[in-house]
């Protein structure tokens, strides 16, 4: 490519800010995923992500420092940060890493919901309890984040007035879960490629 192109106004005021925007978006996205992987125990893949994150950041900052007279580069840098945060969170939502515990409290008969959860592959524990208005059934199940929406749909279908709460959990041993597929199975593969020494 002709060297004069890189010195042209079109490159300086259009292409360069766009490249800085994309680079900043990429490095912030990687940074967001790096933090997610740390919190979910995928620590061995984090150094590789961090390497590319910092490399991209250095390239974009170098371009900023070489073009301090171009305010569009500043907007590209800031806009890339904002978009990278959004993209990183969207990817994290799609990956749906981690597990949660759901507690469901039902007055009276809960057989329909219990059967629906079992038939969908969830492992459940049922306890008899007593609420302020009489006896209740308390259902506990630990589920993967990707399965939360399925569990909520089952609750809404069989007892839309049920009380339930969700909490993140860091570690769970054993358990019964619906059949894995898609992204979650790929994340399990990633855990095998980059195993945590604590898991050995």
Domain containing 105: what range? 99-193
> Could you give the CA distance from residue 133 to residue 2 in angstroms, rounded to a whole number?
80
- Cα separations (Å) of 152 from 21, 46, 114, 158? 38, 32, 13, 10
Asked if 149 and 67 sit in the same domain, the reply is: no
**Where in the chain does DSSP place strands (E)?**
99-107, 125-131, 134-144, 163-169
**What value does the mean pLDDT take over residues 169-182?**
64
Q: Is residue 198 part of a domain?
A: no
pLDDT digits (tens, 9 = 90+) for 45-76: 899 999 999 999 999 999 999 999 999 999 99
Q: Is residue 122 part of a domain?
A: yes
Q: In this structure, how many other beta carbons lie within 10 angstroms of the beta carbon of residue 138?
A: 16
Band the pLDDT of 27: cuts 50, 70, 90.
very high
pTM: 0.69
Instruction: Tell whether the model's pLDDT for residue 143 goes beyond 60.
Output: yes
**7 phi/psi in degrees, rounded to 5:** -100, 0
- What confidence score (pLDDT) does residue 192 get? 61
Q: In this structure, how many other beta carbons lie within 10 angstroms of the beta carbon of residue 16?
A: 20
Place of tokens 């507690």: 103
- What confidence score (pLDDT) does residue 65 get? 92
Q: Domain ends where: 95, 113, 147?
A: 95
């Amino acid at each position: 490519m002709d060297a004069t192109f890189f010195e042209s106004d079109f490159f300086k005021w259009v292409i360069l800010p766009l490249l800085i925007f994309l680079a900043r978006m990429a490095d912030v996205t990687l940074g967001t995923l790096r933090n997610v992987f740390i919190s979910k125990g995928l620590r061995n893949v984090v150094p590789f992500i961090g390497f590319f994150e910092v490399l991209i950041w250095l390239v974009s900052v170098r371009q900023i420092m070489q073009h301090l007279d171009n305010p569009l580069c500043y907007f590209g840098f800031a806009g890339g940060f904002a978009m990278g945060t959004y993209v990183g969170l969207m990817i994290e939502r799609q990956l749906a890493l981690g597990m949660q515990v759901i507690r469901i409290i039902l007055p009276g008969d809960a057989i329909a919901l219990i059967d629906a959860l079992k038939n969908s592959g969830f492992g459940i524990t049922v306890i008899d309890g007593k609420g302020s208005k009489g006896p209740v059934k308390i259902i506990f199940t630990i589920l993967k984040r990707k399965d939360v929406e399925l569990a909520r749909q089952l609750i809404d279908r069989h007892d839309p007035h049920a009380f339930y709460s969700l909490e993140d959990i860091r570690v769970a041993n054993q358990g019964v879960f619906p059949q894995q597929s898609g992204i979650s199975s790929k994340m399990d593969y990633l855990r095998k490629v980059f195993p945590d020494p604590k898991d050995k």
